[in-house]
Amino acid sequence: MEIIKIVILSLSSLLLVFVGAMRLSNPIKTYLKNSGIKLENDVNLLNEMRGVSAVMLFGGIITALGIIIPSISFTSHVVAALLFLGFIIGRLISTAVDGKPNKQINQGILFELVLGAANVFGMVNTLV
């Protein structure tokens, strides 16, 4: 079971760190490439995008620490589950209120759902 939790944390942290770092360093290019979203060069919008990206990056770092420090693996699963499931809830609300997003975002929703559920599984298994 321990190897499964390590795989879950590894995949979660890789995705969070990679996406967080890419969006933090160059949000205009990264959003266009990964989500098909054309961001304007608006200082306020970019500030918001970089803020969320930093949360993803640091959440990914905490998630990765759970791999090498077993005593915080539960916390790492909690952080990853909150991030992924938080994105899912926000996206579902947006879909209901704003309409259906593009194919690239829908694919992201699938990854977030799988990794969110996997981290909940890891949390539950850590408690048992």
Task: Count other Cβ atoms within 10 Å, centred on residue 121.
Answer: 15
- If one counts the domains in the chain, the total is 1
Q: Report the predicted TM-score, pTM, of the whole model to 2 decimal places.
A: 0.91
Give the angle subtended at the CA of 36 by the CAs of 32 and 42, to the nearest 5°.
Answer: 50
Which residue type sits at 88? I
Q: CA-based Rg of the chain, rounded to a whole angstrom?
A: 15
**Which tokens hold the place of 52?**
């969320």
Q: In this model, does residue 65 exceed pLDDT 90?
A: yes
> Does residue 1 have a pLDDT over 80?
no
- Give the whole-angstrom CA distance, residue 13 versus residue 73: 12
Helices (H), 26-102: 27-35, 43-68, 73-98
pLDDT band at 43 (very low <50, low <70, confident <90, very high): very high
The residue range of the domain holding 79 is 2-127
* Mean pLDDT on 90-107: 94
Give the DSSP letter of residue 70. G
Query: What whole-number distance in Å separates Cα of residue 16 and Cα of residue 44?
Result: 23
Cα separation of 70 and 124, whole Å? 15
Residue 21 carries which side chain, given as an amino acid letter? A
